[in-house]
Amino acid sequence: CTLASLSRATLRTSSMAFVVKNTFICEVVSEALDAPGPRPQQRAKTVHYWPCCSAETLPQAADADAPGWAEEPAYAATVGAILDAMPALAFDGNGCTLVQQVLESASGEEMRQVAASLRGSVRLAAHSPYAHHLLEHLLHHLGIEDTSFIAEELKGGGRELVLNEFGSSVLCQLLLFSTHDPSTEQLIEEVLSGDTTAVCHHKHGHKVALAILEHGSPRQRSQICVSLRGEVPRSSRHRFAAQVVAEALLHGAAEDSHSLAVAVVCKPGAVTSLACHCFGVQVVRSLLRLPRISGAVLQELNTNGHKLKKDKFGAEIMMEIGLHAGACDALAPCGGA
């Protein structure tokens, strides 16, 4: 039977009702359908449900967007109910959204209580599409002393975590807010203990590599530069690794950055080839900002200008050089190479 053949009158004759949602016909409990005619308009509001909790534990819904909600008695009851339902609530889509909204108005002590409720479940939470948001929220709003257990529980699974969509995001937040925590340092060392180049080439792993270059220790940044230097031709043209090469040139230590730059430009015609590549062109932009190597890069680009102007990406880089008067001094120096 088609949707067109299901009239409202036909549905009334049955002992159960149906509701069409998008392209699906959903069975609903037996109840009378609404009477035809105009329906009164109601003010839209955000409603949250706790499907993983019983009605006795939590109310059916709470209007967390209502003004002054955080000052109402219902707020304290909701916080207490959330703590009773943790950590199961964190792994549910609607439940996790509710917890995050409540945390926006929560006190430091209430946040610490939520953090304590996640102890023992951190590794599962880091791989969850919902619960990982709570870990990141806690890292953002609590100090290292209250969140050090997160990195501690993640130790031993760093290599798996860095290649996971949600786990890699948690690692980036740890580097941003807890980079000096000993447990975080040990976790990042674990991430870099294997094939670092593979991490730089990975869809999610390269984001962690970028975070290490920006927030990691000098030793960790150096380790990434050394790993890239061994496969710089392939990495400079890779969709993800090229971003890491470009950042390593700018944020690596002086000697590491210079050694990596020399490895990029040592082969004749390498700069011109990269300038005509959709991913390699960002590496050339970084090379132009290195005082010790930019002169040689500019010379090769000018020599092969006729070829570059025929290419989409090469023409863009030549236009950028022209906008800077084509002078090396006009290019903002960055990094130590």
C-alpha gyration radius of the chain: 28
Name residue 135's amino acid. L
Q: Is the dihedral of CA 303, 304, 306, 312 positive or negative?
A: negative
What pLDDT digit, counting tens, does each position of 263-313 carry? 999 888 999 999 999 999 999 999 999 999 999 999 999 888 888 889 999
The answer to whether residue 155 scores a pLDDT higher than 80 is yes
Higher pLDDT, 155 or 327: 155
First to last CA, the chain: 72
The answer to whether residue 36 scores a pLDDT higher than 50 is no
Mean pLDDT within 326-332: 42
In the prediction, which pLDDT does 267 show? Answer: 87
Q: Which single residue is written with the structure tokens 């002590």?
A: 109
Q: Which single residue is written with the structure tokens 């040990």?
A: 186
In the prediction, which pLDDT does 276 show? Answer: 94
- How far, in Å, CA of 180 to CA of 231, rounded? 30
Distances (CA, A) of 280 to 83, 237, 248: 50, 5, 14
Tell me the pLDDT band of 107, cut-offs 50, 70 and 90: confident
Using a pLDDT cut of 70, give the percent of the chain over it: 72
What pLDDT digit, counting tens, does each position of 311-325 carry? 999 999 898 888 443
Pair of tokens at residue 321: 């050089």
3-state secondary structure of 24: strand
- How far, in Å, CA of 295 to CA of 73, rounded? 68
Pair of tokens at residue 298: 């500019």
